[in-house]
Amino acid sequence: MSEHNANDITRLEPLIDDFVGQNEAYYRRVFGTMLKAPGYKFTLNWAAALLGPVWFGARGLWNWFLGVLILETAAYIQIGMGLFGDLGAAERNRADSIQATLDLRYQQIEAAQNAGNQAAVDNLTRAAESLEGALVAAQEAASAADATGLWFIGGGLLALAIIKFGIAALSNWTLEQQFARWRSDRSVANGWSMQRAIVAAILFVASVILSSIQFAQPTAFATLAEFPTDGNWRLAVGDWIQDGFDWLRTSGRGVFDTITAGMRNLLDAIEVVLVDTPWPVVAFVIIMLAFLSAGPRVAIFTGVALAYLGLLDFWEKAMTTVALLGAAALISITLGIPFGIYCARRPRAFAIVRPILDFMQSMPSFVYLIPVVAFIGSGKPAGVVATMIFGSPPVIRFTVLGLQQVPETIREAALAFGATPRYLLWRVELPLAAKTIMAGVNQTILLSLAMVVVASLIGAQGLGEDVLEALQFAAAGQGLLAGLAILFCALILDRIVAGRG
């Protein structure tokens, strides 16, 4: 070790003492070895190996605590199954089932003999002999399974030894990594905390005991296999939610009728443009948009895709689908970008909105249909609302992300040259965040198109109807053709919105 490295390690010794909290001399020596050069250095910490997950918990290494807890619990489960597990339970249950069937056959044989039906007696006798052989095999398998207890114990001990050696080899390295983080961020856990050790020990012991009992004796405690609950609770909560829906639907009928009427008028206007306009005009405009936005190759692809839609009689339904998608995406983008700007300017507001966006993106798409049908009803307006809810989070998130990624130095420079807040937003921040915001717009459009098939379940017309019918009648060919039509609509919109990249 060079003199320079030795001096650096010597200067770090007070920090090491403050960080480790106990056994300072050992860790000064170990960290001194590990800090000579970056990367993993092989050392063994047998105290960490002995304590296992408790050591990691006491040191505040909770991510390692969880991994080691799972591994050691699996090893102790094997040992517990070997010590007091009913290893032949499954085969004994099978033998009992065979015995019950065999007793029934004996009764049937006796009844057939009393009736003088020799043919039935012969058939039942052969069946009984087969069952007797299966019964003997099941009983032997149960005895053989009971005899494997030592193998379970040996396998569990071997696995535990391997895990302990791995802990011994990795514990000092993980602690040194934590020490490096602690030097730059003093909020990182440090020292040996008895409180953390007690919590880790309780969690570890409880996990091992409960898991071992459940795997070794599955019928010992029914509470471990089934969550203690009452089925009436779910029914009661469901009734409360239903009552809330009924009250909202009744008291807010005017609001929901207004939303429905607005959605329907917007859809009718878009369908007049896409459906009622002569198809050559619509096709020409779409191809020209593709050419101006993304170039000749995309324009040629767009023409081929539109020809596919027309030749296979998907034109009207495809335009209806695009109208539904356009209405939902237009509302999502029109409201989402300003709302994203507001959230980017007010982090506290975004902290409240973020869980709502997580909920909207995590909720299965079919679940959106329940409140939409309850408040809006079925049909195209309900499909627009469901699609809008499903597709709006990306544009909000990407708008916030794009504005947050604008370098602070650029903002400061613009303000130093006298830029007003409005000028800063429109001339500096939005142009720099434009690519990220457009990515959010693109994701909103594609996610909205993904709701086409789902929205067809509540009466939204379009290509989703063909896919739904194909699923209902197992028409694989028709369903594939309709799916390709939806794919082409998605690709055309994606290329036009993405532009030349």
If you average pLDDT over every residue of the chain, what do you get? 85
Q: Mind listing the pLDDT tens digit for each residue in 63-78?
A: 999 999 999 999 999 9
Contact call for residues 464 and 454 (beta carbons, < 8 A)? yes
More confident residue, 284 or 267: 284
pLDDT beyond 60 at 342? yes
More confident residue, 212 or 456: 212
pLDDT beyond 80 at 10? no
Q: Mind listing the pLDDT tens digit for each residue in 465-480?
A: 888 888 777 788 888 8
**What is the average per-residue pLDDT within 122-131?**
84
What are the b/e assignments for 274-299, b being 16+ CB within 10 Å?
bbeeeeeebbeebbebbbebbeeebb
Task: pLDDT band for 1, please (50, 70, 90 cuts).
Answer: very low
SS3 460: coil
Task: pLDDT band for 16, please (50, 70, 90 cuts).
Answer: confident
Residue percentage of the chain with pLDDT more than 70: 98
Task: pLDDT band for 4, please (50, 70, 90 cuts).
Answer: very low
Task: pLDDT band for 7, please (50, 70, 90 cuts).
Answer: low
Residue percentage of the chain with pLDDT more than 90: 23
**What is the average per-residue pLDDT within 145-158?**
87
Contact call for residues 448 and 328 (beta carbons, < 8 A)? yes
Of 344, 265, 329, nearest to 494 by C-alpha is: 329
Which tokens in the block code for residue 490?
A: 């998605």
pLDDT beyond 70 at 185? yes
Those residues whose C-beta lies under 8 Å from the C-beta of residue 72, and which sit 6 or more positions away, are 52, 53, 160, 163, 204, 208
Q: Mind listing the pLDDT tens digit for each residue in 346-375?
A: 989 999 999 988 888 888 777 777 888 878
SS3 230: coil
CA distance 45 to 171: 7
Evaluate the CA torsion angle 292, 296, 297, 300 in order and state its sign.
positive
Q: Mind listing the pLDDT tens digit for each residue in 25-58?
A: 888 888 888 877 777 888 899 999 999 999 999 9
Q: What is the pLDDT of residue 41?
A: 83
CA distance 165 to 365: 47
Q: What is the pLDDT of residue 156?
A: 92
**What is the average per-residue pLDDT within 83-106?**
84
pLDDT beyond 70 at 9? no
More confident residue, 489 or 228: 489
**What is the average per-residue pLDDT within 117-136?**
84
Q: What is the pLDDT of residue 358?
A: 87
Q: What is the pLDDT of residue 71?
A: 95
Tell me the H-state helices in 194-312: 194-216, 222-225, 231-251, 253-271, 279-294, 296-311
Q: Mind listing the pLDDT tens digit for each residue in 376-396?
A: 777 788 888 888 888 889 999
Q: Where are the domains of the chain?
A: 3-85+151-225, 89-147, 246-498
Q: What is the pLDDT of residue 501?
A: 52
Specify the pTM.
0.67
Contact call for residues 29 and 200 (beta carbons, < 8 A)? no
**What is the average per-residue pLDDT within 190-207?**
93
Q: Mind listing the pLDDT tens digit for each residue in 229-267?
A: 777 888 888 888 888 888 888 888 888 888 888 888 888
Question: Does 246-498 carry CATH code 1.10.3720.10?
Answer: yes
pLDDT beyond 50 at 322? yes
Q: What is the pLDDT of residue 2?
A: 47
CA distance 212 to 293: 64
